[in-house]
Chains A and B, each alone.
Chain A
Amino acid sequence: MRWIIARLFGRLPIGWLQLTHSRTRFASALAGVAFANVLVFVQLGLMSSMATATLRPYSFFRADVMISAPDADSLTEGGNVARQWLLQALADPEVEAGIGLFLGNVTWHLPGKGLVLTTFGVDPAASGFLAPDIAAKAGVLSMRNAGLLDRLSRGLPRETAAAIRPQTPLSFEVSGDTVTLYDTFAGGGGFSGDGHMVVSDQTFLGLFPARSSAAPDHLLLRVVPGADPVVVAERLRDLVSDKSLRIRTYAAAGREDLVYQQTRRPTGIIFGFGVVIGILVGLVIVYQVLSTDVADHLGEYATFKAMGYPPRFFLGVVLEEALVLGIFGFLPGLGLGTALLALMAQATTLPLQMTATMALSVFVGTIVFSMLSGVLATRRLAAADPADLF
């Protein structure tokens, strides 16, 4: 390492030598940086899993345009949309087809726990609106009270999920009704539910008697091949009589849902703050280590000043230290962060995992913020007055 730094800076690796001179101090400084990294990794992991969990239900369907109630900030929130607007939308020559999408939560009471399943009700005849994996199994939905279950639901025993087949269906009670699960698809637990279930719109209305077939939660539209969903959505905003409705492309709806979850929902804001706090903790730790180090060596720095070393030399030494702390603190932080996310994923079934993008962005952030701390710490160098040496 000495050799690499010496080659890199073209001088003795003073920063490295200074940092490693006291092994205990160096180890505790690295532990501090690693801790800050772990904090950021966990928060970023949670934010990333929130993004995955938010967008996952959108992946169950194939649509180009979505019409929602004015207060529908997310897929699972907001009021209903009158089905009559679907008929108006279908009048557009570039709208090929449309369906109503119903959403509600049902609880499956397993021994010792209740599984909250976000349940989607769709017209089983319109399987073109379903993702291929689900569409392939959607035939069973035309049977009354039939359902497809998210086999990755949190709290669902894997062997139970694996046993669900059309030949060996599994039934459970919901509000006095019996739902029979004939097959499964891959989803996963999220922040607002343990898993998902897809049923026909008729089954859905049976499970939620208060709901009306005339008022689904969203309207999904598919445009004709070659048509631009953005243009169609724009046109539909003029065409549909209720101007308060949110008419967006399906992709834009997902993006807006994500922004809503991350910036307006308490959980998203907390995770965002967690990242900021992690960065601040790292910044403070590196600054503290470097400024203490500068203060401890003021006499030596003053001597170097007297000898004629330029200001960039001192900046170089402190930045060298910042770089060493950033790199060597990141590595254990990455290891611990990865392990911690894996443990949390196992415990919560949230899609928590270390990604290359996360690792790279935290690494770059660590280096940048370590350097920033270094630059701040060099301000203490002003106190190194060589005239005081005599």
Chain B
Amino acid sequence: MDPGPPVVIRGLNHWFGAGEARKQALYDIDLTIARGSLTAVVGPSGSGKTTVLTLVGCLREVQEGSVRLLGHELRHAKPNLLMLLRRRLGFIFQAHNLHDSLTAIENVRMGLQVHGAMDPRREIEAAGHALALLGLADRMDYLPANLSGGQKQRVAIARALVGNPDLILADEPTAALDRESGSNVVDILMRLGKARGTTTIMVTHDGRILDRADRIVTLEEGRIVADTAPFAG
């Protein structure tokens, strides 16, 4: 049975503040994201890209309209459901936020331990595999302080991917990476989409990604002003 699109947004409005200080961030957004696709969200600063990501990522409360994530309505959803849904997501933040006292492999294991107790050997094996995929096989036992900015970002990506998420939400994931590493990350995300149906929504301005994205959604002042599928048809 087709589980349906992982993200369906209808009539989404969102604002910050109240009364005189109220500032509308999103206006009547409608968006359906296909399973296994890589969608790039672009737009100038303050256009609402990040707000969309945080709403889809269950990190903010849906105020008006509807967001269905992996078959669940997020508006009025209970905190426990939101927490459980977040475990099915992979977050890649611009700031890597690695734990400074955990080694690279331990940071990645945190992406597995959120799902509950697991045989430590299997956990280490899976985390090691994820790091190796990102070219960090020889940096597994390094603390973040001993890794370069790009290497840290790749550890954070490995942490997001290791739990086999249904949806990856990424904010400029390749900004800190060199050309080859950035390209490798995009390869991995696209391979995951094809092989496992993992969907990716990514805020980016990286031309290398835009060239390969299945779909590019452009936001301006809280509205979708363009929605293109470069490789369709």
Contact = CB atoms under 8 A, between A and B. Distances in A.
Interface size class of A (residues with CB under 8 A): 20 to 34
A12 B102 contact: yes
Interface size class of B (residues with CB under 8 A): 20 to 34
Interface string B98-119: 1111100010011101100100
A12 B113 contact: yes
A12 B109 contact: yes
A296 B5 CA distance: 39
A307 B86 contact: yes
Interface stretch (A14-22, A74-82, A120-128, A182-190): A14-22
Interface of A: 6, 10-12, 14, 17-18, 20-21, 297, 299-300, 302-304, 306-310, 386-387, 389-390
Contacts of A11: 113, 117
Interface stretch (B63-71, B87-95, B225-233): B87-95
Contacts of B203: 390
Contacts of B54: 387, 390
B111 A21 contact: no
A307 B114 contact: yes
B98 A300 contact: yes
15 contacts: A11-B117, A17-B106, A18-B99, A20-B101, A297-B99, A297-B100, A299-B95, A303-B93, A306-B93, A308-B87, A308-B89, A387-B59, A389-B91, A389-B95, A389-B97
Nearest to B97: A303
Contacts of A14: 99, 101-102
Contacts of A306: 57, 59, 86, 91, 93
A374 to B, nearest CB: 17
A302 B97 CA distance: 9
A272 B94 CA distance: 54
A308 B59 contact: no
Given A21-B100, A308-B84, 8 more contacts: A12-B109, A17-B101, A303-B93, A304-B110, A308-B89, A387-B59, A389-B91, A390-B54
A290 to B, nearest CB: 15
Contacts of B98: 300
Contacts of B42: none
B171 interface: yes
Nearest to B96: A303
B114 A308 contact: yes
Contacts of B110: 12, 304, 307
